Chains A and B, each alone.
Chain A
Amino acid sequence: MNRRRGTGSMWRMAVVAALAAACDSATIPALPGPYDFRLAIYGADGRARQRTFHWDRGAVVPVYVDDEPVGAGALSQAFRRAVRAWGAAAVFGEVRLRETTDLGEARAVLRWHDATGVLSTPMTCLGPVTGAASTLGCLNDPRDALRTWPRRDGEPSQVIYRVVIRRTDDRELLDRLVIHEMGHVLGILSHSPNPSDIMWAGPDLPPAPTARDRSTLRSLYQTPVDLPVESASPGE
């Protein structure tokens, strides 16, 4: 009798130990604190307001890659590397990028700076391409929402960001520039103050998002949006 009780007790201990081992999660590694990801929007009163934009959590953001001349493929390849780089950063499935050939569903257009492009450029969205690359979004008139870019062919548009890259033969630089700009497309609308981050505004970008970039993306997607997207107008 005592022996049987002893065996039962051992079974119970073994089960408890197995369950404890199974449920014990590893220590969560600490990420460095995020930098400010918000966009400073200056109102008519001259005051800056910090606004947050990101896509719905779990969204897959379609990007139209306008890689002229067709067949060169450098921009498309760089975009695919950016998809992987940010995918590895958003391990909780916050957001993903994907390439689309359907301009009608695209939320961003990526193109070379000297290409004609598929978007027209209204005066309200006009911005100089001063650096090696730029991401530009348009604001509505009260400057409290993002608006869609009109298409050159007059068809309805859902495009929020136009991303322009200066041509370069340096593939590594191209990769890094596209990863940086796709960080803006995902919603990191400002720059990191740290030169080692991919979202740093200066030269010598790292090859991939750093721990601080990852932390910033994660924080962004847990922060409420206060810069919405204005509904699209057909052929606007």
Chain B
Amino acid sequence: MTGVRVQDLARGPGYGGLLHLVLMALSAASAGAQIPLTVEVRAGGVYSTPFARGIAVVPAELEAVARDLVVGPRPAPVAELALAARLDPSFALEFRSGASIADVAGEGGGDSWPAGRMTAVHILGGVRFPLSPLPGADVRAGAGKVLYLSSEVNLLEGSGQTGVLLSGGFGYRLPGPVPAIGVAEAQWHEFDPAALAEAGAAAGAVTRFLAWLALPVGGTP
């Protein structure tokens, strides 16, 4: 075993269970209070800025050369399940959880190499506000957590701890017979700097850019 992150593997189902409980509570509350609920399935793609940056000093004939290195996930598909509760015509709460499986790559000196595969699981709670000047459009914001799970990626072996995940986005109901919603979103979180600093790599902020197509698949009127 090359260090499956037992702690995070235990946390993943933990967060999933928490989401399930929240969804159940919300369903029960909405049934009592007649709050319209929507269940959405979302699929799309995610692009992430690098997890870490560093410098390699490479010996050369005359003098050593410094080469910039980065490591991070490649663009990957992402899927998500969301539950939205419209508490008011101008305000909706949403709870969501999703995952993506991405190849991680190192890059430096104009070259890139595979660094393993990881699963990113995110869970968020947030709000949506309709954009009144633009029918069918909304702005959304949320907070939650993202977990990076991998037994292959060296970087995530003794590190990979993340801070709070903040998210902001924009949704637009697409014209057509299918009630699909296009969503563009940016997520931001801190990446554990301590373990990486020891390895001579800079961590810090990671930004994930997501583009979704959301389809309502159920709910209450």
A positions within 8 Å CB-CB of B: 18, 21-31, 33-34, 56-58, 60, 80, 83-84, 87-94, 96, 98, 211, 214-215, 218-219, 221-223
Contact B158 A23 (CB under 8 A): no
Inter-chain pairs besides A34-B59, A221-B56, A222-B67, 12 sampled, C-beta below 8 Å: A28-B200, A60-B152, A84-B157, A87-B2, A91-B54, A92-B201, A93-B113, A94-B113, A96-B152, A218-B56, A222-B69, A223-B58
User: Given the known A-B contacts A57-B111, A87-B2, A88-B154, are A26 and B202 also in contact in the complex, defined by CB atoms under 8 Å?
Assistant: yes
- B58: chain A residues at CB < 8 Å are 219, 222-223
Q: How far is the CB of A99 from chain B (nearest CB, A)?
A: 9
Say if the beta carbon of B153 comes within 8 Å of chain A: yes
Contact A218 B200 (CB under 8 A): yes
Question: Contacting B116 at CB < 8 Å: which of A26, A83, A93?
Answer: A93
User: Given the known A-B contacts A84-B157, A222-B58, A223-B58, are A91 and B113 also in contact in the complex, defined by CB atoms under 8 Å?
Assistant: no
Closest 8 CB pairs of A and B: A93-B115, A58-B113, A26-B204, A31-B200, A57-B113, A92-B106, A22-B207, A28-B202
Say if the beta carbon of B30 comes within 8 Å of chain A: no
- B116: chain A residues at CB < 8 Å are 93, 96
Say if the beta carbon of B199 comes within 8 Å of chain A: yes
Alpha-carbon distance A96/B57, docked complex (angstroms): 20
Contact A91 B201 (CB under 8 A): yes
* Interface contact tally, CB-CB below 8 A: 137
Measured CB to CB, the nearest residue on chain B to A86 is B154
Measured CB to CB, the nearest residue on chain A to B55 is A28
- A98: chain B residues at CB < 8 Å are 2
Say if the beta carbon of B74 comes within 8 Å of chain A: no
- A218: chain B residues at CB < 8 Å are 54, 56-57, 69, 200
- B197: chain A residues at CB < 8 Å are 29
Question: Contacting A219 at CB < 8 Å: which of B59, B195, B203, B207?
Answer: B59
Alpha-carbon distance A222/B112, docked complex (angstroms): 11
Contact B154 A96 (CB under 8 A): yes
Contact B108 A58 (CB under 8 A): no
Which of B54, B104, B105 has the most chain A CB atoms closer than 10 A to its own CB?
B54
B positions within 8 Å CB-CB of A: 1-3, 49, 52-59, 64, 67, 69-71, 104-106, 108-109, 111, 113-116, 152-155, 157-159, 168, 186, 188, 193, 195-205, 207
Contact A91 B71 (CB under 8 A): yes
Q: How far is the CB of A166 from chain B (nearest CB, A)?
A: 26
Which of B109, B152, B201 has the most chain A CB atoms closer than 10 A to its own CB?
B201
Contact A215 B57 (CB under 8 A): yes
Question: Contacting B104 at CB < 8 Å: which of A27, A60, A93, A94?
Answer: A93
Q: 7 A-B residue contacts at CB 8 Å?
A: A28-B54, A28-B202, A84-B2, A91-B154, A96-B154, A215-B57, A223-B58
- A214: chain B residues at CB < 8 Å are 199-200
- A223: chain B residues at CB < 8 Å are 58-59
Question: Contacting B203 at CB < 8 Å: which of A26, A30, A33?
Answer: A26
Q: How far is the CB of B129 from chain A (nearest CB, A)?
A: 14
Contact A92 B109 (CB under 8 A): no
Alpha-carbon distance A182/B97, docked complex (angstroms): 41
Contact B114 A58 (CB under 8 A): yes
- A83: chain B residues at CB < 8 Å are 2-3
User: Given the known A-B contacts A30-B200, A223-B58, are A92 and B115 also in contact in the complex, defined by CB atoms under 8 Å?
Assistant: yes
User: Given the known A-B contacts A87-B154, A93-B153, are A219 and B200 also in contact in the complex, defined by CB atoms under 8 Å?
Assistant: no
